[in-house]
Chain A
């Protein structure tokens, strides 16, 4: 029995049905899926389909046929192989397979599905950066070992990061741990948004240790603002 089949047998049908209904209940769903000719034009234009055992047709088909079991399987695998380029909008029926995948991914993330955890594993550092600083990348991410293709430039840049940053005209750029300096008021608002919109909860479902670190970072400012995290 494959790992996924084993997982599938442990999840009750009612849970798979609930996740499927969550996909269907999305406001965008009605605009993303009409009916499927099963013609394969979406696969023909799909870059991911050339490299993986991935087919936007199979996704559209499974959802259109309301094949709850298969949709569940796809949410636990295939959907993460889509590059979200939306070439599949070529569909003659006006379907948007990439958009259906967007919804399926969101449902997978919101419900902390194992596949979402796996897919987002590689992005932990970026999620941490965005959520703690409001900026996606920071100069201190430049490490020679991470950018061997830069040659000696990477090392030189990394060694003298402070100096390079000070050489930039705007004051807000004189930082190495974020793309630019974010003031306290902005950070507090940002943390409030993560907190109140449920993004922190979503992170908790996906990656508990990341959640702990983020709470640590945000706690003080949120408490000062009158929104204790606990």
Chain B
């Protein structure tokens, strides 16, 4: 007997969009979220404006939540984890655990939307002294201050005069083991650079990069305005280290296109930390028996032609659980995964009807 219910794991952008899409198609859905609220990383990590389009993150996520909250077809389970799974496509038996209580549900297909986590700049090495210097921040630390419209040096509480971003922290790095590009950090750093310049017009902002990767319209909507209108200085070169000089941070690197070494003071250094698979993604891959790549992200059937099917029939993936993704990619994947998952449920129901 096949189940007509779809299980969506993760209540962030991918999971919410998948749930909305499934409900629109008239499919019964259980939406499981580990935390006590929906919205995913944009909310838990205090995103201010979304890259790109610059819409307010809380507002956008609020709209996405409102689109599913109260829908009779969407059964939202907060504070809930998926702890066991058996069966096969069309008839999975899944254990949902909430506060020590287990419940087993029967579902026809699963969409995994368990996302990513931000690279912890102190995890592999202390190259940039993230845990040593108050004024060395991550993109998320900066985002939180920008959201509050109060961008100051944590060490003094005063507005900075010189701020820089160091790109590719925890990405494109063989030593750390993350050889991939995290895709969004160039855009996010440039977006934050614009926001800093808007808040503090006298503050100079630098971005030290290996390659600027500003896909599609990110180029003319973020990169060019940052450089042309907001006079953000883009300097090709990776910073080797940060040291304290007086009460300021001193960064060392090479201004490669100018062919000269640099040693310049900064008030705040923001590490553009990339993406890693979230704990939830790694755990669910084990629970559902999904093949993962060497970095722990969930493998898809074909990166180009089928970016949403996993190694287990009936289980699909959407968003950054399958590797670094921007929101554009995530929303597209959520739609594609929903189409395939609901399609699979319907096909099996039809097969059962024919048999009967």
- Size band of the interface chain B makes with A: 10 to 19
Binds B, one of A61-69, A113-121, A153-161, A188-196: A61-69
Bound complex: CA of A93 vs CA of B227, how far in Å? 11
User: Contact check: which of A35, A57, A93 meets B257 at CB < 8 Å?
Assistant: A57
Interface hits, A36-67 → B, CB 8 Å = 36, 38, 57-58, 61, 64-66
Q: Is the CB of B258 within 8 A of A35?
A: no
Q: Is the CB of A34 within 8 A of B228?
A: yes
Q: Is the CB of B231 within 8 A of A38?
A: no
Asked if B224 lies at the interface with its beta carbon under 8 angstroms from chain A, I say yes
Q: Mark B24-68, 1 if CB is under 8 A from A, else 0.
A: 000000000000000000000000000000000000000000000
Given contacts A58-B258, A61-B257, A61-B258, contact A35 B236 (CB under 8 A): no
Bound complex: CA of A93 vs CA of B224, how far in Å? 9
Residues of A within 8 A of B97 (CB): none
Bound complex: CA of A36 vs CA of B234, how far in Å? 9
Asked if B233 lies at the interface with its beta carbon under 8 angstroms from chain A, I say yes
User: Contact check: which of A34, A57, A58, A61 meets B224 at CB < 8 Å?
Assistant: A34
Residues of A within 8 A of B231 (CB): 66
Bound complex: CA of A91 vs CA of B51, how far in Å? 28
Chain A at the B interface: SS class: loop
Bound complex: CA of A38 vs CA of B207, how far in Å? 14
Residues of B within 8 A of A64 (CB): 227, 233
Residues of B within 8 A of A66 (CB): 231, 233
Residues of A within 8 A of B227 (CB): 34-36, 64
Residues of B within 8 A of A35 (CB): 224, 227-228, 234
Query: Which residue on chain B has the smallest CB distance to residue A34?
Result: B228
Q: Is the CB of A65 within 8 A of B233?
A: yes
Bound complex: CA of A39 vs CA of B227, how far in Å? 15
Number of A interface residues in the complex (CB < 8 A): 11
Bound complex: CA of A38 vs CA of B209, how far in Å? 13
Q: Is the CB of A38 within 8 A of B236?
A: yes
Tell me how far the C-beta of B130 lies from the nearest C-beta in chain A, rounded to whole angstroms.
27
Residues of A within 8 A of B235 (CB): 65
Tell me how far the C-beta of B226 lies from the nearest C-beta in chain A, rounded to whole angstroms.
8
Bound complex: CA of A120 vs CA of B133, how far in Å? 53
Bound complex: CA of A16 vs CA of B257, how far in Å? 23
Bound complex: CA of A36 vs CA of B235, how far in Å? 10
Bound complex: CA of A36 vs CA of B236, how far in Å? 12
Q: Mark B176-206, 1 if CB is under 8 A from A, else 0.
A: 0000000000000000000000000000000
Tell me how far the C-beta of B263 lies from the nearest C-beta in chain A, rounded to whole angstroms.
15
Tell me how far the C-beta of B65 lies from the nearest C-beta in chain A, rounded to whole angstroms.
38
Q: Mark B232-248, 1 if CB is under 8 A from A, else 0.
A: 01111000000000000
Bound complex: CA of A182 vs CA of B236, how far in Å? 57
Q: Is the CB of B228 within 8 A of A38?
A: no
Residues of A within 8 A of B234 (CB): 35, 38
Query: Which residue on chain A has the smallest CB distance to residue B212?
Result: A37
Query: Which residue on chain A has the smallest CB distance to residue B230?
Result: A35
Interface hits, B139-153 → A, CB 8 Å = none
Residues of B within 8 A of A65 (CB): 233, 235
Residues of A within 8 A of B236 (CB): 38
Query: Which residue on chain B has the smallest CB distance to residue A57?
Result: B257
Bound complex: CA of A200 vs CA of B231, how far in Å? 37
Residues of A within 8 A of B228 (CB): 34-35
Residues of B within 8 A of A34 (CB): 224, 227-228
Q: Mark B249-269, 1 if CB is under 8 A from A, else 0.
A: 000000001100000000000
Query: Which residue on chain A has the smallest CB distance to residue B257?
Result: A38
Bound complex: CA of A66 vs CA of B227, how far in Å? 11
Query: Which residue on chain B has the smallest CB distance to residue A65?
Result: B233
Query: Which residue on chain B has the smallest CB distance to residue A62?
Result: B258
15 further contact pairs, Cβ within 8 A, besides A35-B224, A61-B258, A66-B231: A34-B224, A34-B227, A34-B228, A35-B227, A35-B234, A36-B227, A38-B234, A38-B257, A57-B257, A64-B227, A64-B233, A65-B233, A65-B235, A66-B233, A93-B224
Chain A residues proximal to chain B, CB less than 8 Å: 34-36, 38, 57-58, 61, 64-66, 93
Could you name 16 residue pairs across A and B whose Cβ atoms are closer than 8 Å?
A34-B224, A34-B227, A35-B224, A35-B227, A35-B228, A35-B234, A38-B234, A38-B257, A57-B257, A58-B258, A61-B257, A64-B227, A64-B233, A66-B231, A66-B233, A93-B224
Leading 3 A-B pairs by shortest Cβ distance: A35-B227, A38-B257, A35-B228
